[in-house]
């Protein structure tokens, strides 16, 4: 009996579990290692923060998927890997040997990137912990309005600042919730959403103004109790710093023997196999493709899922592995807190409440796809999200 080990219940692995439920792998024992019972769908996290969704609406429960796929689940995480010996070391002290390994463990927050952040800040990753911290923040804001500073001008920081402002900010007073807190967004330098076309940046700035989010175009160089420190030493009052900076590679990949890129992510080729160890696959944020450096976000993790499922099957049971070619362009949908969203595709963009309803339908369909029993469990595919 061969053993396939899946590390992480990430966006690509939920497709693998679903494929295994539909067509089991003969002569293969599959084990899923996951630290949490559920997979948070990050596309809906800003909506949870804004108060549009309950947490349960934004997660994929893994246990029903695992049962349906007849996969063994270990509720722990990988803390070490020896790719030569084909062995994973687990946080619970056990080791797990494999014939084929698939890694979809995502990225981690770089807790050392800003001095003081480790001690004083809330990090957006892991999403499971972030959502728990948000509940506590909400409770604190019910006692008194706070100064909240989101650090990171990318899509995640932008959406979270707007979601926080909608739920807890000055505009929320009118809705009678725990409002009145002040929300600021520290971009690191220029405008927020700087890797988007100018039209999207302009729409984003209007949304931030509408929602009374203060934009601070400066790098954050330190975090202290009660303040974030910007370049040139400017101190900004802050009770709750939320760090939404670019993600880093997990430390346990170092020393695994796997070929890693310069940032420590697993170097993979077009078939999603490690460039150094063909029995190791990686997909999503943990993977790095020299031929597709743009392919780093949830949308790419999701799109890699079916290809990963197929290639794992073929490596284990025979057949030619197929290349997975990430698209150059994807549809981007940015929520603006107030049930308003911005859509973009290349240089085209649009916004409105209709975009939010569009995003809401896509996101809910994605979660529904993995509910068991559900339409997808009986074989009908839904559109991928984002
Ligand atoms: C607030 C926010 C909003 C976002 N919105 C969007 C969006 O709208 N569109 C978009 O394209 N991208 C978005 N992103 C980016 C997106 O979240 C990531 O690109 C995506 O989650 C990557 O998916 P993944 O499956 O690779 O990793 P993850 O989603 O991080 O999943 C990894 C899984 O592995 C598990 N795991 C971690 N470490 C271990 C370990 N050592 N052992 C075992 N299991 C482990 C984790 O618990 C988790 O379940 C957003 C990010 C944030 C923070």
Q: How far is the CA of 37 from the centre of ligand 1 (A)?
A: 15
| Ligand 1 pocket residues where CB is under 6 Å | 7-12, 33-36, 39, 42-43, 45-46, 77-78, 104-106, 124, 126, 156, 159-160, 284-286, 297-299, 301, 386
pLDDT digits (tens, 9 = 90+) for 133-171: 999 999 999 889 999 999 999 999 999 999 999 999 876
- pLDDT attached to residue 328: 76
Contact predicate 316/308, CB 8 Å:
no
CA torsion, ordered 352, 357, 358, 363, to nearest 10 deg: 130
- pLDDT attached to residue 205: 98
Q: Whose CA is nearest to atom 20 of ligand 1?
A: 298
Element (H, E) at 335: strand 332-335
The β-bridge partners of 133 are none
CA distance 168 to 183: 9
- pLDDT attached to residue 256: 97
Report in angstroms the alpha-carbon separations of 38 from 75, 77, 193: 11, 13, 30
- pLDDT attached to residue 177: 59
CA distance 358 to 300: 20
- Tens of pLDDT, residue by residue, the chain (386 residues): 999 999 999 899 999 999 999 999 999 999 999 999 999 999 999 999 999 999 999 999 999 999 999 999 999 999 999 999 999 999 999 999 999 999 999 999 999 999 999 999 999 999 999 999 999 999 999 889 999 999 999 999 999 999 999 999 876 655 555 678 999 999 999 999 999 999 999 999 999 999 999 999 999 999 999 999 999 899 999 999 999 998 899 999 999 999 999 999 999 999 999 999 999 999 999 999 888 777 667 778 888 999 999 999 999 999 999 999 888 788 999 999 999 999 999 999 999 999 999 999 999 999 999 987 644 443 333 333 33
Element (H, E) at 329: none
Q: For residue 240, give the 3-state DSSP assignment.
A: strand
Q: Whose CA is nearest to atom 11 of ligand 1?
A: 298
- pLDDT attached to residue 325: 87
**Residue 162 phi, psi (nearest 5):** -70, -40
Looking at the CA of residue 128, tell me the nearest atom of ligand 1: 47
Q: Whose CA is nearest to atom 29 of ligand 1?
A: 10
Best probe residue, ligand 1, of 7, 8, 244 (max atoms within 8 Å of C-beta)? 8
Domains recognised in the chain with CATH numbers: 2-109+248-328+361-378 (3.50.50.60), 117-243 (3.50.50.60)
Closest CA relative to residue 299, chosen from 334, 264, 270, 273: 334
Q: Whose CA is nearest to atom 2 of ligand 1?
A: 156
Tokens at 215, concatenated:
């934009």
């Amino acid at each position: 009996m061969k053993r396939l080990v899946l590390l992480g219940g990430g966006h690509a692995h939920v497709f693998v579990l679903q494929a295994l439920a539909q067509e089991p792998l003969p002569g293969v024992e599959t084990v899923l290692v996951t630290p949490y019972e559920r997979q948070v769908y990050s596309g809906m996290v800003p909506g949870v923060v804004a108060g549009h969704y309950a947490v349960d609406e934004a997660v994929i429960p893994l246990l029903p998927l695992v049962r349906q796929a007849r996969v063994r689940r270990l509720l722990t995480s990988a803390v070490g890997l020896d790719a030569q010996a084909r062995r994973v070391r687990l946080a619970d002290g056990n080791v797990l040997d494999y014939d084929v390994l698939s890694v979809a463990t995502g990225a981690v927050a770089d807790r050392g990137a800003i001095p003081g952040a480790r001690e004083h800040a809330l990090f957006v990753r892991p999403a499971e912990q972030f959502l728990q911290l948000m509940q506590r923040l909400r409770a604190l804001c019910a006692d008194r309005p706070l100064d909240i500073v989101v650090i990171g001008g990318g899509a995640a920081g932008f959406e979270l600042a707007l979601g926080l402002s909608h739920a807890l900010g000055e505009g929320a007073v009118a809705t009678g919730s725990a409002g009145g807190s002040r929300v600021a967004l520290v971009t690191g330098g220029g405008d927020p959403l700087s890797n988007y076309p100018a039209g999207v940046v302009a729409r984003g700035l209007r949304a931030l103004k509408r929602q009374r989010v203060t934009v601070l175009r400066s790098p954050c160089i330190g975090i202290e109790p009660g303040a974030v420190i910007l370049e040139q030493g400017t101190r900004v009052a802050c009770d709750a710093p939320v760090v939404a900076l670019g993600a880093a590679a997990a430390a346990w990949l170092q020393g695994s023997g796997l070929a890693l890129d310069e940032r420590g992510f697993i170097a993979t080729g077009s078939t999603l196999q490690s460039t150094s160890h063909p029995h190791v696959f990686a997909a999503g944020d943990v993977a790095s493709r020299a031929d597709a450096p743009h392919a780093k976000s949830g949308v790419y993790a999701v799109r890699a899922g079916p290809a990963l499922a197929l290639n794992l099957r073929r490596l284990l049971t025979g057949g030619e592995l197929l290349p997975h070619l990430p698209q150059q362009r994807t549809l981007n949908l940015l929520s603006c807190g107030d049930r308003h969203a911005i859509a973009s595709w290349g240089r085209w963009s649009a916004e409105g409440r209709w975009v939010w309803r569009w995003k809401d339908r896509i996101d809910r369909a994605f979660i529904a796809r993995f509910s068991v029993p559900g339409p997808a469990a009986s074989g009908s595919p839904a559109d991928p999200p984002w």
